[in-house]
Amino acid sequence: MRRSLILIVTCALCACNRGPAADSPEGVARRYVEAVLTGDRDAAVALTTAADRAAATDEANADEQVLTKDGESRRVQGVIGKHARITGQTATVTGEKASATVQFSAPDVTLNTLFSSYKGDPEQSMKEFDRQVSKATMTDRSEQLALRRENGAWLVDTDWNDKADRRQKEQLKSEYEKAVEQDYRRAAELSQQLVKTYPNDTGWKQERDALSTLTAVLGKVSVAVTSAGLYQGEYRIEGTLRNASQQTLQTVTVRVTFLNGSQAVGTPEYATLRSDSIFYRTPVLGPGESKPAELTGDPPAEWTGQRVRLDVTAFTYPE
């Protein structure tokens, strides 16, 4: 009887210490935090929603600094996580969503700890870092996570997808700002994307309409090459600017495309060596006027005087 009682108590204690089921909200949250603490990015990504997995595996978001709040390298995080310990987890389920809190104890490490561990040799530096981390004061912390059920499985709903979306929007704005200075046609394309991205923003619709007007004028401004060659190591291109629009122009931006080959432009034998956008300040170019233009600069190393193509891509009105 005594032996049976001991077995029952022992089994009960084992059940208490076993932890949450791996596929429960608490279990998924715990496994996710364990993966993050040890720098196991693949394991952490596998426990997130489909949208977050797509964001994390996209090449543009692959760097930890894009998605994680601390941006620490996986190897450094792995050393810190090796000494961390999960101390508890709780979860509250509401329908297909859940919120979980994972408590853990982790070394209190600063950047100074990492810098002071540097020994020149990477392997020796990591060993010294590991030694210092093992002696660091342990601090109780917690991580709060949102989870959702997808296809019957609980998954962590991170902010990666939102971060990736914000990054892509900011990149789109940055590309637009650059294009509106150098290439109106490209800027017009990007303004269409921005209107779709921000359908309720009247400002982007006004930008799109303004660029439509600018590209209409741009289509009537041209530049023709009259001669191109090398002079004392620099390229010298002479051309003629023509303004067939009804607007007076103060400056134009000319894109110079260096070509390599002896065949007609557009055939396979012709290769583009480099394209440069040059802000060219010309004397005021009135409606219907034509004026000479001279462009100089450093050519691509492979260009020795072959053909070039010139395009007017932007302009400014007189102030």
Amino acid 7 reads: L
Q: Is 236 helix (H, G, I), strand (E, B) or coil?
A: strand
What are 273-295's pLDDT values in tens digits?
Answer: 777 777 777 778 899 999 998 88
The pLDDT value recorded for residue 4 is 42
Are 258 and 300 in contact by the 8 Å Cβ rule? The answer is yes
In a shared domain, residues 40 and 82: yes
Residue 257: CATH number of its domain: 2.60.40.1620
Q: What is the DSSP string of 179-215?
A: HHHH-HHHHHHHHHHHHHHSTT-HHHHHHHHHHHHHH
Are 25 and 154 in contact by the 8 Å Cβ rule? The answer is yes
Q: Name the pLDDT band for 19 (thresholds 50, 70, 90).
A: low
Could you report how far apart the first and last alpha carbons of the chain are, in Å?
101
Q: Is 301 helix (H, G, I), strand (E, B) or coil?
A: coil
In a shared domain, residues 235 and 253: yes
What are 239-253's pLDDT values in tens digits?
Answer: 999 999 999 998 888
The pLDDT value recorded for residue 59 is 63
In a shared domain, residues 139 and 250: no
The pLDDT value recorded for residue 77 is 76
In a shared domain, residues 145 and 37: yes
What are 192-227's pLDDT values in tens digits?
Answer: 999 999 999 999 999 999 999 999 999 999 999 999
Query: In this predicted model, which residue has the larger pLDDT, 196 or 20?
Result: 196
Percent of the chain with pLDDT over 90: 39
In a shared domain, residues 192 and 282: no
For CA atoms 77, 64, 160, 156, the dihedral sign is negative
Q: Name the pLDDT band for 10 (thresholds 50, 70, 90).
A: very low
What are 79-136's pLDDT values in tens digits?
Answer: 888 888 999 999 999 999 999 999 999 888 776 766 677 777 778 878 888 888 888 8
Residue 87: CATH number of its domain: 3.10.450.100
Examine the pLDDT at 270 and tell me if it is beyond 80: no
In a shared domain, residues 209 and 125: no
E-assigned strand segments in the chain = 85-94, 97-107, 138-150, 153-156, 221-231, 234-243, 249-260, 271-285, 290-297, 308-316
Examine the pLDDT at 264 and tell me if it is beyond 60: no
The pLDDT value recorded for residue 75 is 73
Query: In this predicted model, which residue has the larger pLDDT, 195 or 307?
Result: 195
Percent of the chain with pLDDT over 70: 83
Q: How many CA atoms lie within 13 A of 298 on its CB side?
A: 1
Q: How many domains does the chain have?
A: 3
The pLDDT value recorded for residue 17 is 44
In a shared domain, residues 43 and 129: yes
In a shared domain, residues 183 and 226: no
In a shared domain, residues 111 and 58: yes
The span from the CA of 133 to the CA of 247, in Å, is 69
Helix, strand, coil abundance in the chain, percent, nearest 5: 40, 35, 25
Last residue of a domain, one of 129, 158, 187: 158
Examine the pLDDT at 30 and tell me if it is beyond 50: yes
If we measure between CA atoms, which residue out of 153, 154, 160, 292 comes closest to residue 236?
292
What are 132-167's pLDDT values in tens digits?
Answer: 888 888 989 999 999 999 999 999 998 887 877 888
Token pair for residue 12?
A: 């009960």
Last residue of a domain, one of 198, 218, 238: 218
In a shared domain, residues 139 and 234: no
The pLDDT value recorded for residue 202 is 93
Token pair for residue 242?
A: 């023509």
In a shared domain, residues 149 and 14: yes
Which residues, 6+ apart, have CB-to-CB distance to 316 below 8 Å?
A: 249, 250, 251
In this prediction, residues 28-43 reach a mean pLDDT of: 88
The pLDDT value recorded for residue 136 is 84
Examine the pLDDT at 14 and tell me if it is beyond 70: no
Query: In this predicted model, which residue has the larger pLDDT, 85 or 20?
Result: 85
Examine the pLDDT at 53 and tell me if it is beyond 90: no
The span from the CA of 25 to the CA of 92, in Å, is 8
Instruction: Give the structural domain span for 246.
Output: 221-316
Describe the strand order of the beta sheet including 221-231 as a list of residue ranges.
Answer: 221-231, 234-243, 290-297
If we measure between CA atoms, which residue out of 121, 147, 144, 134 comes closest to residue 49?
147
Average per-residue pLDDT in the chain?
A: 82
Token pair for residue 69?
A: 């709040």
Chain centroid, CA 36 distance in Å:
21
In a shared domain, residues 108 and 171: no
Query: In this predicted model, which residue has the larger pLDDT, 260 or 67?
Result: 260
The span from the CA of 77 to the CA of 254, in Å, is 49
Examine the pLDDT at 234 and tell me if it is beyond 80: yes
Chain centroid, CA 83 distance in Å:
32
